[in-house]
Amino acid sequence: MTTTRSNIETKCVLVPDLTDANRNWFAKLVIIEKSPIRYGKDTGTPYQKYIFADASNNTIQASVYDRDIEDLDPILQLHCTYYIGNAWITKIASPFFMASSPYQLTISKRTFIHAVPPDNALPYEHCYQFTPFHELHSFIGDDNTRISILCVVIHALPPRTVPRGNRYVPIQEFVVLNEEKRPLLFTMWEEFLPSKGAQLKNLIPHQPIIIIARPKVNTHHTISIGTQATSIVIFNPQIPQAALLKQWITENTTYMQTVTREKLYDKAHQRVHPPIPSQLREIYAVDPATQQTKPFWIKAEIRIRNNNSRFYFLSCPNPTCMKPTGADIDTDFTCFFCRMTYSRPLARLRFETQLCDNTGLLIATIEDDYAESILQTSVHEVIRMEQTEEQLDIAAINSRLQNTHYYIQVRNTTRSVQFTHNPRYIIVAYLPILPQPHIASTTHPSNTESEASGSTAIPAPTTDDYTSTSRLAIASASESTNKEERSQLQSKHPLDPSSEITPKRHKP
Residues that bind Zn ion (CB under 5 A): 316, 318, 321, 335, 337-338, 340
E-strand spans in 97-231? 103-106, 112-115, 148-156, 160-164, 167-177, 184-188, 209-213, 216-218, 224-226
Query: Residue 149 CB, nearest distance to Zn ion (Å)?
Result: 32
Query: Residue 315 CB, nearest distance to Zn ion (Å)?
Result: 8
Query: Residue 321 CB, nearest distance to Zn ion (Å)?
Result: 3
* C-beta closer to Zn ion: residue 127 or 314: 314
Residues in contact with 366: Cβ distance below 8 Å, sequence separation at least 6, in sequence order: 302, 349, 350, 351, 352, 353, 374, 426, 427, 469
DSSP SS3 for 41: coil
* C-beta closer to Zn ion: residue 335 or 473: 335
Query: Residue 295 CB, nearest distance to Zn ion (Å)?
Result: 25
Comparing CA positions, the residue from 344, 346, 325 lying closest to residue 336 is 325
* C-beta closer to Zn ion: residue 45 or 334: 334
DSSP SS3 for 30: strand
- Distance, CA of 475 to CA of 498 (rounded, Å): 10
Query: Residue 334 CB, nearest distance to Zn ion (Å)?
Result: 9
Q: Return the H-helix or E-strand segment holding 380.
A: helix 379-387
* C-beta closer to Zn ion: residue 100 or 318: 318
* C-beta closer to Zn ion: residue 324 or 432: 324
* C-beta closer to Zn ion: residue 171 or 335: 335
* C-beta closer to Zn ion: residue 335 or 410: 335
- Distance, CA of 386 to CA of 5 (rounded, Å): 83
- Distance, CA of 457 to CA of 189 (rounded, Å): 35
- Distance, CA of 4 to CA of 117 (rounded, Å): 12
Number of C-beta neighbours around residue 158 at 10 A: 8
DSSP SS3 for 232: strand
Query: Residue 383 CB, nearest distance to Zn ion (Å)?
Result: 20
- Distance, CA of 225 to CA of 478 (rounded, Å): 20
Query: Residue 336 CB, nearest distance to Zn ion (Å)?
Result: 8
Query: Residue 379 CB, nearest distance to Zn ion (Å)?
Result: 18
* C-beta closer to Zn ion: residue 150 or 335: 335
